[in-house]
């Protein structure tokens, strides 16, 4: 565990409109937290993320996108530019947050927790854009997926459905 953080509900990141957003507001929901980027080979995954968000949202599922410029300079824009890009290109309806750092010395505390929390898959640094962290209804990390696991893959869909049913 990271610095005594026991769930994602303890974090209060800023959303893409500049408002502090306690993750406590998502308590009891299943969350897929993703570090995103606008100029990445995986950027088309925004479409898949939006599709699964629409598919499961009314069952208590949220996708939370955290733009980050840690990998290959693939998220150079401002929050406003990122928001516009996501709306225009992918009609993103799920919550987006203010651009943060997901690794290194300035790593956001939420991602420090996510990369160190125990889970059945793996821990350690994020390797690239669009890694995915599945959070159960109790706010704890259930599964972690690397960038190349597509949002609509059987692996992720099964994990979401299992978490929603639990």
Residue in the block written with tokens 């410029």 = 69
Report the distance separating Cα 51 and Cα 63, nearest Å: 10
Residue pair 112/103 in contact by the 8 Å Cβ criterion: no
pLDDT of residue 98: 98
Span 148-154, mean pLDDT? 98
Do strands 30-36 and 61-67 pair parallel, antiparallel, or not at all (unpaired)? parallel
Residue pair 88/22 in contact by the 8 Å Cβ criterion: no
pLDDT per residue over 102-123, tens digit each? Answer: 999 999 999 999 999 999 999 9
Q: Which one is predicted more confidently, 113 or 3? A: 113
**Rounded to two decimals, what is the model's pTM?**
0.96
pLDDT of residue 3: 46
Q: Is 48 helix (H, G, I), strand (E, B) or coil?
A: helix
| CA nearest neighbour of 139 among 3, 4, 10, 2 | 10
DSSP letter assigned to residue 7: S
Span 1-26, mean pLDDT? 87
Name residues whose C-beta falls within 8 Å of residue 147's C-beta, 6 or more positions apart in sequence: 42, 127, 128, 129, 130, 131
> 5 falls in which pLDDT band (50, 70, 90)?
low
> 4 falls in which pLDDT band (50, 70, 90)?
low
| CA nearest neighbour of 126 among 110, 148, 136, 111 | 111
User: Can you read off the two tokens belonging to residue 7?
Assistant: 């769930």
Q: Is 112 left (phi over 0), alpha (psi -120 to 50) or beta?
A: alpha
Span 6-11, mean pLDDT? 93
Domains recognised in the chain with CATH numbers: 8-165 (3.40.30.10)
Residues labelled as active-site residues: 40
Residue 2 has pLDDT above 90, yes or no: no
Report the distance separating Cα 31 and Cα 43, nearest Å: 19
Residue pair 114/82 in contact by the 8 Å Cβ criterion: no
Residue 59 has pLDDT above 90, yes or no: yes
């Amino acid at each position: 565990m990271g610095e005594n953080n026991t769930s994602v509900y303890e974090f209060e990141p800023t959303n893409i409109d500049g408002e502090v957003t306690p993750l406590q507001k998502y308590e009891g929901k299943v969350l897929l937290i993703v570090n995103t980027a606008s100029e990445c080979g995986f950027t088309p995954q925004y479409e898949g993320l939006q599709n699964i968000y629409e598919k499961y949202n009314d069952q208590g599922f949220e996708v939370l996108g955290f733009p980050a410029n840690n990998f290959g300079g693939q998220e150079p824009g401002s929050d406003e530019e990122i928001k516009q890009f996501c709306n225009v290109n992918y009609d993103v309806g799920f919550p987006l947050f203010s651009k943060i750092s997901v690794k290194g010395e300035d790593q956001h505390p939420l991602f420090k927790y996510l990369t160190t929390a125990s889970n059945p898959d793996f821990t350690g640094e994020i390797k690239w854009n669009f890694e995915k962290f599945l959070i159960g209804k109790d706010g704890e990390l259930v599964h972690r997926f690397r960038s190349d696991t597509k949002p609509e893959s059987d692996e992720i869909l099964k994990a979401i459905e299992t978490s929603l049913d639990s």
